[in-house]
Amino acid sequence: MTVTAIVGANWGDEGKGKIIDVLAAASAYVVRFQGGSNAGHTIINDYGKFSLHLLPSGVFCSGVTNVIGPGTALDVEVLKGELEELVSRGVPVPRLRISERVQIMLPVQRLFDELEEERLGANGFGSTKRGIAPFYADKYMKLGIQAADLFDQPRLLERLQHLLAAKNVLLEHLYGQPPIRPETWLDQLREQAEWLAPYLCDTTELLHTAWRNGEEILLEGQLGALRDPDHGIYPFSTSSSTLAGFAAVGAGLPPYAITKVTAVIKAYSSCVGAGPFVTELHGEEGNELRRRGGDAGEYGATTGRPRRMGWFDAVATRYGCKVQGATEAALTNLDVLGYLDEIPVCIGYELAGGKVTDQFPATGQLESAKPVWQRLPGWKCDISQVRRFADLPEAAREYIRFVEASAGVRVATISVGPRREQIIMAQDAGGGLI
């Protein structure tokens, strides 16, 4: 049995939720290892359409234990709301375990996120204002509150006082806001502790035991490689590592436990948030792709903002698969491209001064880069009912081979629609995939 990390090859929005939903049926555990409620995974199944922000994407599969690992930013109110929505819509109560070491999102972190984005104005980073950057800043400044702290009132009050000492200075003198007294939150945090108590455990020991027993474990990443703070389009990045290399840390497993890394690649490009996006489309061309993308168009699962749209970027995808350490890829939304006579793909960047490169440069060079295009033939038909690689139109098969050659990794899974059953697996490829 294997431990598999499922991560994004690009900016996020690649369709990871569907791939995890498909693979979770054969798994014992699905683990969120980083990020918070600032991004979502959209899943469509027999229960309906869902956007999950904190719950792992295995919650629709009976028998799966869903784990929120210590690397996650846990917004308790968001998590409660997600669980209540599932139950209200007829989904069986999922089996959920939460690390006692996970840190809790606090109201002041959301407040700081909103205030800072407002202060930056046009120079902002496109934050979702869910408190993520202040949360991780506090975590690494050793100011955070672990879930276990909620059950020790004297320690909790001391931790809150320590956290708010510097923040109150900024609230008053930078943002013009009144200071916060730590006692203000104690009743709310006491209620959160009571709600969390049945779910909390030592998830590190839980997962180590499962791994030693050979049980199948999926590690679920949020966003994609290009939003990683070390290897992505910094400073237009998220605040926790989006790479499979961090999955072991954020879940609590040894690094050598991960034997498979599935990088999810979209058949075209999209992203939510600010930052350089070389293949971005504007006007009607981008609007048409957005309207056709996915089940209800390309809009952020968390914010509802229209996604920025672009054609497939071979440079960014190859780089994303490389830094993810991908051992295989899953290609999503292939069916969306069926309306095109020809499909533009970006095979290189023209940098300032006219130099052309097929390597992904640092952010400063990306901001002025222009795409170098190649055009591939379209297949001009609906492929959403196809379930075997051999039954795809030849142009669609060639497009998949182009993606494989560009990414340098074998495509093992192909999604041809938003629903769970709209999938082509490698064993159905008829030898066509490299």
* Interatomic CA distance for residues 9 and 331, integer angstroms: 10
Residue 223's Cβ-side half-sphere holds a number of Cα atoms within 13 Å equal to 30
Contacts of range 124-129, beta carbons closer than 8 Å, 24 or more positions apart: 124/274, 125/235, 125/236, 125/273, 125/274, 125/275, 126/236, 126/272, 126/273, 126/274, 126/275, 127/38, 127/273, 128/38, 128/39, 128/273, 128/302, 128/303
Pair 30, 64: CB distance under 8 Å: yes
Bridge partners of 428, per DSSP, are: none
For the annotated catalytic residues, the residue numbers are 13, 41
Q: How far is CA 274 from CA 127, 222, 309, in A?
A: 8, 17, 13
Number of other residues whose CB lies within 10 A of the CB of residue 7: 33
* Interatomic CA distance for residues 432 and 429, integer angstroms: 5
Token pair in block for residue 381:
């038909």
**Is residue 165 classed as helix, strand or coil in its secondary structure?**
helix
Residue 434 CA to chain centroid, in angstroms?
27
- The identity of residue 26, as a single letter, is A
Instruction: Give the phi and the psi of residue 18 in degrees, each rounded to 5.
Output: -65, -45
* Interatomic CA distance for residues 84 and 134, integer angstroms: 27
- CA geometry: angle 320, 99, 110, nearest 5 deg: 70
DSSP calls for 324-383: HT-SEEEEE-GGGGGG-SEEEEEEEEE-TTS-EESS---HHHHTT-EEEEEEEE---S--
CA-based R_g, the chain, Å? 22
